[in-house]
Amino acid sequence: MKKKKSSRFKEQAIRSFFFTCGILAILALAGIFIILLTMAFPAFKDISLKEFLGSGRWDPTSPEKAEYGILSMIVSTLLVTAGALLFAVPIGLGVASYLSDVAHWRVREVVKPIIEVLAAIPSVVVGFLGIVLFAPFLGRLFHLGNGLNALNGSVLLAIMALPTIISLSEDSLNAVPSSYAEASLALGGSRWQTLVRVKIPAALSGIIASIMLGMGRAIGETMTVLMATGNARSFPHGLLSSVRTMTADIAIELGEVPYYTTHYYALFGIGLVLFLMTFAVNMIADIILNKYQQRER
């Protein structure tokens, strides 16, 4: 009788512990959102939403007229992210296909850990490589004065998003039931046809989810873009112009802004926009994953 009571107590305790952990995660997320919302709200007493989201002029410390338009920064963030995905998705998918379909298991054993290491490189080191290595190279390649532009940022962000995309895509490809591939080969399909027409469509939900997660990483990246994209506040003209992303701007300005001024609240406004963007990206990834999983069943 004694033993049963203590084991039931243990069960309850462990269950409560896990429940608390889960609740804490939700509370943390809700807390962050509430803080961003309450700290950003006072900004809109002085700044119209139209100016904030519609104007490309960000000059809060201007001695003439303080301007709080973040459109240039939103576009800059989207530009470097799009550029990063342009590089990372084909290469990532290619590497994932190679690892899951073509590579000898010994090659896989070596390459997979190396890719994991790529994910562990600190973002500030990647930014440093961008300034010292890539920027001069891009400058020479495109005959620009310097290479601190959106393209530089895109390449670096692609390097950082690649491990996520490769890992998850490869897992998804491996999770495709072998009966699919066997059926395709049995019907006379080549290995390439099997990969492109059968395996990848079957693993599509996982692949798209991995791209979304890589995209989330790229949107939120701060240090790399701060160091490598030139930080010009003007509206970007293309991949070869200097850009300032939302994350870089917060990092640059939050340290010196006097607390509780319009500028201070506006920075939280930028944080809120960033949060909502990343949240939306993750939600879409989740929905896609769920939708395709249900279809499978």
Partner 1 sequence: MNFKKTLWAATLALGLAIGSGQVFAQKKMIQVKGSDTMVNLVQILAEEFMGKNPGSALAIMGGGSGTGITAVINGTCDIATHSREWKQKELDLAWEKGVKPRFFVVAVDGLSIIVNEKNPLEKMTMPQVGSLYKGEIKNWKVVGGPDKAVSLYGRQSNSGTYTFLQEHVLGNKNYSLDVKEMNGNAQIIESVIQDEGGVGYVGVGYLFDQNGKIRKGIKVLNISKDASSEAFSPLDKQNIDSGKYPISRPLYEATNGKPNAAVTGFLTFETGPEGQKIVEREGFFAISEAHKIQNAKNLK
Q: Smaller CB distance to partner 1: residue 56 or 189?
A: 56
CB proximity list for 95: less than 8 A, separation 6 or greater: 115, 162, 166, 170
Q: Does 139 bind partner 1 (CB under 8 A)?
A: yes
Q: Smaller CB distance to partner 1: residue 237 or 291?
A: 237
Q: Smaller CB distance to partner 1: residue 57 or 112?
A: 57
Asked whether 58 and 233 are in contact (CB, 8 A), the reply is yes
Q: Does 227 bind partner 1 (CB under 8 A)?
A: yes
* Closest by CA position to 294, among listed 179, 205, 167: 205
CB proximity list for 6: less than 8 A, separation 6 or greater: none
Q: Does 55 bind partner 1 (CB under 8 A)?
A: no
Task: With contacts defined by CB under 8 A, name the span among 39-47, 85-93, 187-195, 228-236 that binds partner 1.
Answer: 228-236
Q: Does 273 bind partner 1 (CB under 8 A)?
A: no
Q: Does 130 bind partner 1 (CB under 8 A)?
A: no
Q: Which one among 60, 82, 176, 193 touches partner 1, defined by CB under 8 A?
A: 60
Q: Smaller CB distance to partner 1: residue 112 or 233?
A: 233
CB of 132 to partner 1, least distance (A): 9
Using only C-alpha atoms, the chain has a radius of gyration, in whole angstroms, of 24
Asked whether 85 and 72 are in contact (CB, 8 A), the reply is no
Q: Smaller CB distance to partner 1: residue 101 or 253?
A: 253
Distance CA 102, CA 96 (A): 10
Q: Does 112 bind partner 1 (CB under 8 A)?
A: no
CB of 256 to partner 1, least distance (A): 3
Q: Does 48 bind partner 1 (CB under 8 A)?
A: no
Site track 230-259 with partner 1 (rule: CB under 8 A), x = hit = xxxxxx------x-x-------xx-xxxxx
User: What secondary structure letter does DSSP report for 243?
Assistant: B
User: What secondary structure letter does DSSP report for 230?
Assistant: B
Q: Smaller CB distance to partner 1: residue 64 or 296?
A: 64
Task: With contacts defined by CB under 8 A, name the span among 53-61, 175-183, 211-219, 286-294 that binds partner 1.
Answer: 53-61
Long-range contacts of 272-280 (CB under 8 A, 24+ apart): 272/36, 272/37, 272/40, 273/70, 273/74, 273/246, 274/77, 274/219, 274/220, 274/246, 274/247, 274/250, 275/32, 275/33, 275/36, 277/77, 277/219, 278/216, 278/219, 278/220
Give me the residue label for tokens 């506040």: 233
> Which class for 261: exposed (0-12), middle (13-18), buried (19 or more C-beta within 10 A)?
middle
Q: What angle do CA 194, 210, 81 make, to 5 degrees?
A: 120
Q: Smaller CB distance to partner 1: residue 62 or 190?
A: 62
CB of 228 to partner 1, least distance (A): 11
Q: Other C-beta atoms within 10 Å of 78: how many? A: 16
Site track 62-101 with partner 1 (rule: CB under 8 A), x = hit = xxx-------x-----------------------------
Residues that bind partner 1 (CB under 8 A): 57, 59-64, 72, 131, 136, 139, 145-146, 148, 226-227, 230-235, 242, 244, 252-253, 255-259, 261
